[in-house]
A and B are shown apart, each in its own frame.
Chain A
Amino acid sequence: MRVRLLDIAHARSGDKGDTANVGVIARRGEWYPVLERYLTQERVRDHFRGVIEGDVERFELPNLGALNFLLHGALGGGGTVSLKTDAQGKVFSTAMLRMTLDVSDEEARAVTLPGVPRIPAYTRSLEE
């Protein structure tokens, strides 16, 4: 099933030079593995293609249920050099949350992602 990142995560972003960092945090601890598996460096690189000039790095913080992404070449030179409205990368967070993830139904059900239809008890017992 398709899940909006906005529905399962929150985020904050900031800057370091011409690099924006986006921390993506699972809204519930049990949803973090979904982020770790599906919100890959490659997916994020594709998402921001044409928006940033450099590469994407990913770091995991399972202790905080969070992933940290570094988006290089994101800020038009960064700091005071940049002409951008968002020269400090403050709203790359919500640009990230525009993503959708295609999560397997089984996994989505296992951790009750939002939008998963509640399965009646009898079907659940049949599946088991």
Chain B
Amino acid sequence: MTVPLSDRPTAPLSDARIVRVAAGQGFWGDWLEAPRRQVEGGDLDYLMLDYLAEVTMSILQKQKERDLNAGYALDFVGAVESVLPAIVERGVRVIANAGGVNPPACAAAIRQLAERHRAAEHVRVGVVTGDDLLPRLDDLIAGGHALRNMETGEPLVSVRDRVLSANAYLGSVPIVEALAKGANIVITGRSTDTALTMAPLRHEFGWRGDDWDKLAAGIVAGHIIECGAQCSGGNCLYDWEAIPDLANVGYPIVEAEPDGTFVVVKHPSTGGRISIPSVTEQLVYEMGDPREYITPDVIADFTTIRLEQAGEDRVRVFGIKGRPPTDKLKVSIAHRAGFKAVGTLVYSWPDAFAKAQLADRVLRERLNRLGLRFDEVLPEFVGVSATHGPLAGESHDVPEVQLRVGVRGTDRSAVERFTREIAPLVLNGPPSVTGFAGGRPKVEDVVAYWPALIDKRVVRTSVEVLA
């Protein structure tokens, strides 16, 4: 039976109810099948899609510079299309930071999609803006906001002319507002990944802004599922060879209760595994000081998290403590920082490593004789030491070694010339070489990341619901 969303209650639910938030994307480029599999596999209330990594904003900003209607995660439109029946007929709501640097354009694309499917009356798009500080940057700096690099202490003026994007990380408040206004698809720009999960719980359960423990629980829930299958058997080192049916891996779902306790599960008949080890691996992922996981809404204390295996592929999470946040928001700034290119060649047995080392020496001597200057030249020997360096030990009689040389510098022509010095080695360097079919390496822009803090009160968010 079809129940149009407009006939469903939108008021916060009774305490008896469990709210299910499912993760459908862990980054832009994640499995295209996942959103549809999440809505088709069983009951859900919310589908959470995380698209934005630190570097993503600068890529989107460059796209927006070329096309005023671009600058958002295009995959999102396909994802919504694949779950539209669930949105319209079952009342599943979608929350995504797919808006990138252009949430209004993303919202317009979703409106058009809904019209194409004759579902416009069932789709109410909530748009969160205000995170984009790029247009305000000079005013902010003039107003005394130095936007110092959190790692180096340098003020932003030193790279101001090269800044590509600047976005404050927003918390749960504007998302909750959009849900309260009846949005069933909420699109944000730079929200924290965890807010995308915490906000619907806060909305449904009516958590107050100072319910620190509950807000912290919502943040931990968000942290566990924000990387998609990385908590449900994907990239899991613990007993990896025994994790069943990864081809059919189930993405995680949080089943939350009003008191902030929740269970991490996945749909029945999916692959992967949800266990204390798989969830713990995700909890420690990208962790800093576990006592203070800082978000705009709350500081969560990860040393208070308790886990319990509550059944097959069910992990119960409880005991989480939180405390008031700081008066700052983190700002993610990206700026141009020169150019880079990476070239690779594969050398085979016998003496594969020695041949690759000789090729590296030959290449570098040629680069020197050409008078090319780089900020960095990094040779790596994939198969010998590329990832573990000297820790990898001395056993070098390997079947093949990939020589991988990267260069980076501010002189684009030097990087360009480097890309033409790789292929000649096939005929004029050491023997037993192959693997050059991909052609010349590409010169890429280097975009550096500049983390900073800003006073919360200068960031003004706005929420609009398009119906």
Distance A86 CA – B406 CA, assembled complex (angstroms): 12
* Contact present for B284 and A86 (CB under 8 Å): no
Q: Which residues of B contact A85 (CB under 8 A)?
A: 380, 382, 386-387, 404
Please judge, given known A-B contacts A23-B284, A61-B302, whether A80 and B447 are in contact too, CB under 8 Å: yes
* Contact present for A66 and B288 (CB under 8 Å): no
Distance A95 CA – B304 CA, assembled complex (angstroms): 28
What distance in Å separates the Cβ of B340 from its nearest Cβ neighbour in chain A? 6
Q: For A51, give its contact among B237, B285, B389, B448 (CB under 8 Å).
A: B389
The verdict on B394 contacting chain A, using a C-beta distance below 8 Å, is no
Chain A, interface SS category: mixed
Max count, chain B CB within 10 A of own CB: residue among A51, A76, A77: A77
The verdict on B281 contacting chain A, using a C-beta distance below 8 Å, is yes
Q: Which residues of A contact B446 (CB under 8 A)?
A: 80-81
What distance in Å separates the Cβ of A92 from its nearest Cβ neighbour in chain B? 8
* Contact present for A27 and B238 (CB under 8 Å): yes
The verdict on A84 contacting chain B, using a C-beta distance below 8 Å, is yes
Q: For A94, give its contact among B283, B305, B388 (CB under 8 Å).
A: B388
The verdict on A59 contacting chain B, using a C-beta distance below 8 Å, is yes
Q: Which residues of A contact B284 (CB under 8 A)?
A: 12, 21, 23, 25, 61, 64, 66, 68
* Contact present for A63 and B281 (CB under 8 Å): no
Q: Which residues of A contact B447 (CB under 8 A)?
A: 80
The verdict on B289 contacting chain A, using a C-beta distance below 8 Å, is yes
Distance A112 CA – B281 CA, assembled complex (angstroms): 23
The verdict on B7 contacting chain A, using a C-beta distance below 8 Å, is no
* Contact present for A78 and B449 (CB under 8 Å): yes
* Contact present for A59 and B291 (CB under 8 Å): yes
The verdict on A98 contacting chain B, using a C-beta distance below 8 Å, is yes
The verdict on B55 contacting chain A, using a C-beta distance below 8 Å, is yes
Q: Which residues of B contact A16 (CB under 8 A)?
A: 286, 288
B402's nearest neighbour on chain A, judged by CB, is A85
Interface residues on B, range: 35 or more
* Contact present for A21 and B287 (CB under 8 Å): yes
The verdict on B408 contacting chain A, using a C-beta distance below 8 Å, is yes
What distance in Å separates the Cβ of A65 from its nearest Cβ neighbour in chain B? 7
Chain A 51-82 per-residue mask, 1 if CB under 8 angstroms from chain B, else 0: 10000000111111110101000001111110
Q: For B55, give its contact among A14, A27, A80, A84 (CB under 8 Å).
A: A80
Distance A70 CA – B406 CA, assembled complex (angstroms): 26
The verdict on B451 contacting chain A, using a C-beta distance below 8 Å, is yes
* Contact present for B388 and A95 (CB under 8 Å): yes
Distance A70 CA – B238 CA, assembled complex (angstroms): 21
Distance A77 CA – B448 CA, assembled complex (angstroms): 9
Q: For A25, give its contact among B280, B376, B406, B451 (CB under 8 Å).
A: B280
Distance A109 CA – B303 CA, assembled complex (angstroms): 28
Max count, chain B CB within 10 A of own CB: residue among A11, A21, A80: A80
Q: For A64, give its contact among B237, B283, B386, B451 (CB under 8 Å).
A: B283
* Contact present for B380 and A63 (CB under 8 Å): no
* Contact present for B387 and A95 (CB under 8 Å): yes
Tell me the B71-104 residues at the A interface (CB within 8 Å).
Answer: none
Tell me the B380-423 residues at the A interface (CB within 8 Å).
Answer: 380, 382, 386-391, 404, 406-408
Q: Which residues of A contact B390 (CB under 8 A)?
A: 50-51
Q: Which residues of A contact B285 (CB under 8 A)?
A: 12-14, 21, 23
Please judge, given known A-B contacts A64-B307, A79-B55, A80-B446, whether A59 and B290 are in contact too, CB under 8 Å: yes
Distance A85 CA – B281 CA, assembled complex (angstroms): 22
The verdict on A47 contacting chain B, using a C-beta distance below 8 Å, is yes
* Contact present for B376 and A63 (CB under 8 Å): no
The verdict on A93 contacting chain B, using a C-beta distance below 8 Å, is yes
The verdict on A111 contacting chain B, using a C-beta distance below 8 Å, is no
Distance A14 CA – B306 CA, assembled complex (angstroms): 22
* Contact present for B406 and A83 (CB under 8 Å): yes
* Contact present for A70 and B337 (CB under 8 Å): no
Distance A21 CA – B382 CA, assembled complex (angstroms): 22
A98's nearest neighbour on chain B, judged by CB, is B391
The verdict on A45 contacting chain B, using a C-beta distance below 8 Å, is no
* Contact present for B378 and A83 (CB under 8 Å): yes
* Contact present for A21 and B286 (CB under 8 Å): yes
Q: Which residues of B contact A80 (CB under 8 A)?
A: 55, 446-449
* Contact present for A83 and B376 (CB under 8 Å): yes
The verdict on B277 contacting chain A, using a C-beta distance below 8 Å, is yes
* Contact present for A11 and B237 (CB under 8 Å): yes
* Contact present for B382 and A17 (CB under 8 Å): no
* Contact present for A10 and B237 (CB under 8 Å): yes
* Contact present for B389 and A61 (CB under 8 Å): no
Please judge, given known A-B contacts A17-B449, A61-B302, A64-B284, whether A83 and B342 are in contact too, CB under 8 Å: yes
The verdict on A39 contacting chain B, using a C-beta distance below 8 Å, is no
Distance A70 CA – B291 CA, assembled complex (angstroms): 14
What distance in Å separates the Cβ of A84 from its nearest Cβ neighbour in chain B? 7
Name B's A-contacting residues (CB within 8 A).
54-55, 151, 235, 237-238, 277, 280-291, 302-307, 319, 337, 340, 342, 376, 378, 380, 382, 386-391, 404, 406-408, 446-449, 451
Show 6 A/B contacts (Cβ-Cβ < 8 Å), sorted by A. Answer: A61-B302, A66-B280, A84-B386, A85-B382, A94-B237, A98-B388
Other than the known A17-B449, A64-B284, A98-B388, what 14 A-B pairs have Cβ atoms closer than 8 Å?
A14-B287, A21-B284, A23-B280, A23-B284, A25-B238, A25-B281, A48-B391, A50-B390, A51-B389, A59-B291, A63-B319, A76-B376, A80-B447, A85-B382
